[in-house]
């Protein structure tokens, strides 16, 4: 089994077919979308393929180490980041093909008008081991 990250983007990927921003959806459309996501995760829990998933809040900031005895440096929020990543799901599947298959299904979550979004999802494998350095 291999773990994959299914990454949902607000921005930065090609436009989905149903390209109406969520802030323009009705409360019922938002509820239907989140119910789809919950049902999808529950189905993967039943097959043992679900690891975790979360929607992300629009708030956020960058943080970095600033030296011994000094407080971390923060900057932000950065709209280009918070608007980019909407949420994620981690799956544990037998193959890359299965990860792609599941991402395709997840892409059909309903959006405005109850129609599938057909959004682009980024599929990224977890690094199984540190990269090797060749000299």
Question: In the chain, what are the domains?
Answer: 2-125 (3.30.70.1060)
Which regions in the chain score pLDDT beneath 50?
A: 82
Picking from 105, 127, 8, the residue whose alpha carbon sits closest to that of residue 47 is: 105
Structure tokens at 1: 């089994």
- Determine the pLDDT at residue 104: 95
Q: Bridge partners of 63? A: 74
Q: Bridge partners of 45? A: none
- pTM (whole model) above 0.85: no
- Determine the pLDDT at residue 78: 55
Peptide bond into 77 cis (omega under 30): yes
């Amino acid at each position: 089994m291999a773990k994959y990250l299914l990454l949902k983007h607000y921005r930065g990927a090609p436009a989905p077919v149903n390209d109406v921003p969520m802030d323009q959806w009705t409360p019922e459309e938002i509820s239907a979308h989140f119910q789809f996501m919950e049902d999808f995760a529950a189905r993967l829990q039943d097959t043992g393929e679900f690891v975790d998933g979360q929607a992300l809040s629009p708030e956020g900031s960058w943080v970095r180490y600033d030296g011994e005895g000094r407080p971390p440096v923060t900057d932000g929020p950065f709209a280009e980041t918070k608007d980019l990543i909407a949420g994620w799901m981690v799956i544990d599947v037998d193959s890359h093909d299965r990860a792609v298959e599941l991402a395709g299904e997840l892409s059909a979550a309903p959006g405005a008008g109850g129609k599938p979004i057909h959004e682009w999802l980024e599929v990224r494998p977890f690094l199984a081991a540190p990269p090797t350095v060749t000299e």
